[in-house]
Structure 1
């Protein structure tokens, strides 16, 4: 039988090893799965190779059942007698990895996360020496410095990306007589109309998982800015950070809070509790990734009809940029693994054409690997159609990475304004000053590099 672990237990075990007193959460968001029979007490034949046990950590919840099933198949079929145990840590993932590496309990393979930060900490084992000719051909041209490669050391391979769309409750839209908004003004007005119609039934026009500003705004404010030609706050022509162009986007989210269109309690919601509210029909719309169809199919069967539409632009016109699907990273090998050859065997399996094709076709992610996306069938999952790649889904150049920022992040600053208000001009100026100060210090210390593209044009990123 599969073993279940709560993150409180996982974190507490790590914390006790390094002498920390408390670092868990009460969230039931981590579980381990071992193939049936893995703990059998039956004797092992003398000629059979000794079992090699690997630990795999992931922060992805939407594909957990699929990955568990594939790991079970690997455990039962691999000839090297390798057994993989998976831990799904949807909350406190970065903190848990830090504790695991500090206490010499790091997983052998883990979902790649904050690559610049974790590369600087030495968490990644370079994969270059493991790469076969077939792997080099498959991922040719897909390795980028400060993304999945650092100083020439490849730390992860591409798999699938995630497009971003406005997800909306079709039933309440029809009842309110509104259509998916195309501009920021329409976004605010649509949320207001939905709330007017649905408030008596506990239905509100808008929500985001504001408990985590990064989760809320990385999936909404940042891609909307990119779609409007402003990337992640970095000005490639000037070679500096400038968030001033984000002002109308931030103000739109603030308006939906002050006019009562935002679901009450959104400031205390993580993503899954918010999804549960949407599935119950209590939220009119929100912005998120193309993982949502899989989530609603497997975790939160909706009681309402829903669909996805393009994110609004500032003025309702054609996008001036693109919202990048990412996809350059997926799995990494731990530099502290004691079984690196076995870990590579597992990674080979996970990156196999069969595995990546199934991942794409079942809708867990949209493959960015050309050999997979060209041969695979269109994902077979309700709601995925309007998430499929368009000319407006393309990655931007990488902005400077590895900044050592003093004070709050832009997500914390802008998230605070959206929820409680303040002087937005001063907040934006403070964010600009601190990010540029970190950029200058990092460039001087050699820990980061400025990126300057004098003739950069965000519209040139768009496909044909």
Structure 2
């Protein structure tokens, strides 16, 4: 099924001519960085030689859901590679992009970076990344063929050169506590936003005395919270999920504002977990694992998180998110697809970095990565042979006919508040929603016009775009 889905979805996306940088970062954040560093010990033989030929390369990532598995892979690589290469892993909890900027400005940047479709073009334009084309020749020519169907301009290829290879994508779902739903007399997950508001209120009324609330999100970073929730609701409702109108080639936050009205209603009802304004994603997960949250929206990383990071015995599952009015006019967008690892252009150990990268892109590792539930394989040869992850809750996140890739939208930085901060401010404080929406449209489109004039972005309007045609049959 996955192979059939990928072929159909990708063919639709590639047929759409929208040249702009992707905005699909599943875990983007602007919060201060807190580094958790793990340096694996070298093998006994390497320690004994203590050779000056040893090459130490650094790998930075902001992924936390898969860090234990990645540590295992790095340990295996360090102890078995014949080239005396040692990899040091650093997991940054927040503010990955800014940390990378600081590292490059101080000549302390890592050799290998975790790339996502929202930061790959930014890093490319800043000169952080080295092209991979020269490594994909000779004995590595087969790798280029293997990944060819997932190579997309302005996602992992820029100016005709390749900077990253695809691995997996993430589906987005409503994550819900089945026991709390049953306790509140709710028989099924909500299919419309009004049903979600009503369900959140019922769960809160039934459990508030025990510290249980119907809904929560990681509102410490509003944009991150909305990019894992409003985005999904909009794409299922037939709208591009980040405020961009594919038909006109301009930003239009009117559909976004419709969704925010329902979020505000949950806040006004007292259905959102108190303190959510300062809640980050991992503390939210801890509260959900403890049975204190009825539902939230997030990525297909969640089953792995509740298996390894926050083990829980609660009865939970994943379901297709609600659309605005209960009618699915579009598809659930598969995000963070197309990129994974990249090499620092200024690294003194590029060849060693490539050997580690090639190891990580091996069939066995990519297959296991999918089967462990860390991401949904989008490389056809991997998707065709990988087994469905045997992880509690994962069945609700598997790719189906309601999932697809969407055309990329431009990444724009406007003057003033971004849409996440602006809408969250309205959600908790009120105000004139129409005025807020008009202001966002004005500022984002001004930034888009300036970016197009500078040649940073090239956007083509798609007046005949039909989101229903993105569906895999």
Does the pair score TM above 0.5? yes
Residue 407 (str. 1) matches residue 416 (str. 2): yes
Q: Which residue of 1 aligns with 2:151?
A: 143
SS at match of 1:186: helix
Report 1:201-212 matches (<5 A). 201-212=210-221
Aligned to 1:67: 70
Aligned 8 A contact 1:183 1:314 in 2: yes
Q: Does 1:375 align with 2:385?
A: yes
Q: Distance in 2 between matches of 1:204 and 1:39?
A: 55
Matched residue of 1:30: which SS?
Answer: strand
Which residue matches 2:121?
116
User: How much has 1:37 moved relative to structure 2?
Assistant: 4.9
Change in CA separation of 1:254 and 1:80 when aligned onto 2, cut-off 3 Å: same
| C-alpha distance in 2 between matches for 1:24 and 1:185 | 31
What's the secondary structure of 1:31's corresponding residue? strand
Decide which moves more: 272-281 or 222-231: 222-231
- 1:392 pairs, out of 395, 402, 407, with 402
SS of the counterpart of 2:317? strand
Count, aligned residues? 437
**Taking structure 1 as reference, are residues 32 and 251 closer, same or farther at Cα in structure 2, changes over 3 Å only?**
same
Cα deviation, residue 385, structure 1: 0.5
**Does 2:137 correspond to 1:127?**
no
Post-superposition shift, 1:173?
Answer: 0.8
2:113 maps to 1:103: no
- The equivalent position to 2:85 in structure 1, one of 82, 86, 90, is 82
Q: Partners of 2:47 and 2:400 in 1: how far apart?
A: 53
Deviation at 1:442, TM superposition (A): 1.1
In structure 2, the residue corresponding to 1:196 is in which secondary structure? helix
Q: Which runs of 5+ in 1 are unaligned?
A: 1-22
CA–CA separation in structure 1 for the residues paired with 2:49 and 2:470: 60
Give the corresponding residue for 1:13.
none
| Structure 1 residues 393 and 35: alpha-carbon distance in aligned structure 2, compared to 1, 3 A threshold | farther
Q: Where do residues 351-362 of structure 1 align in structure 2 (5 Å cutoff)?
A: 351-362=361-372
| SS in structure 2 of the partner of residue 337 of structure 1 | coil
* Pairing 1:282–2:288 present: no
Q: Secondary structure at the match of 2:248?
A: coil
8 Å contact kept, 2:33–2:93: no
Cα displacement (A) at 1:303:
3.9
Tell me whether 1:331 sits opposite 2:336 in the alignment: no
Q: Is the 8 A contact 1:320 1:458 kept in 2?
A: yes
Q: 2 CA distance for matches of 1:91 and 1:237? A: 34
State the SS of the aligned residue for 2:59. Answer: strand
| Pair 26,220 (structure 1): closer, same or farther in 2 beyond 3 Å | closer
**How far apart, CA to CA, are the structure 2 residues paired with 1:24 and 1:370?**
36
Q: Distance in 2 between matches of 1:321 and 1:357?
A: 26
Match of 2:41 among 25, 35, 38: 35
Q: Deviations over 1:29-75 (max 9, x none)?
A: 5122213557986444xxx7811110000100010000000000001
Tell me how far 1:318 sits from its aligned partner. 2.8
1:222 aligns with 2:227: no
Q: Name the SS for the 1:168 alignment partner.
A: strand
The structural deviation recorded for 1:277 is: 0.4
Matches within 5 A, 1:294-313: 294-313=304-323
Q: Structure 1 residues 39, 101: CA separation in 2 closer, same or farther (over 3 Å shift)? A: farther
Q: Distance in 2 between matches of 1:40 and 1:368?
A: 36
Aligned-pair distance for 1:153? 1.9
RMSD: 1.8
In the alignment, the residues of structure 1 paired with residue 100 and residue 354 of structure 2 have an alpha-carbon distance, to the nearest angstrom, of 20
Give yes or no for the alignment of 1:197 onto 2:215: no
Report the TM-score when normalising by structure 2: 0.89
Structure 2 CA distance for aligned equivalents of residues 129 and 256 of structure 1: 53
State the Cα distance separating 1:25 from its structure 2 match. 5.3
Unaligned runs of 5+ in 2: 1-29
Q: 2:251 matched to which residue of 1?
A: 241
CA separation in 2, counterparts of 1:162 and 1:263? 26
2:88 aligned counterpart, secondary structure: strand
Distance 1:97 1:268 in 2: 24
- C-alpha offsets along residues 139-191 of structure 1, whole Å, 9 cap, x if unaligned? 11322222111111211111111101100011111111102111111000000
- Distance (Å, rounded) in 2 between the aligned partners of 1:445 and 1:343: 34
Question: Is the alpha carbon distance of 1:25 and 1:462 closer, same or farther for their aligned partners in structure 2, counting shifts above 3 Å?
Answer: closer
Distance 1:458 1:228 in 2: 9
Determine the C-alpha separation between the residues in 2 that align with 1:64 and 1:141: 28
Give 1:247 deviation, angstroms.
Answer: 2.2
Tell whether 2:254 aligns with 1:254.
no
Contact kept? 2:330, 2:467, Cα under 8 Å:
yes
Residue of 163, 167, 171 corresponding to 1:159:
167
Cα distance, 1:317 vs structure 2 = 2.1
1:7 — aligned with what?
A: none
Distance in 1, matches of 2:161 and 2:226, equals 31
Report the CA distance between 1:336 and its aligned residue: 1.1
Contact 1:224–1:323 (CA under 8 A) maintained in structure 2: no
Q: 1:339-381, CA deviations, whole angstroms, 9 ceiling, x for partnerless residues?
A: 1011000000000111100100111111011100111111121
Q: 1:163 to 1:379 in 2, by over 3 A?
A: same
Instruction: Give the TM-score normalised by the residue count of structure 1.
Output: 0.91
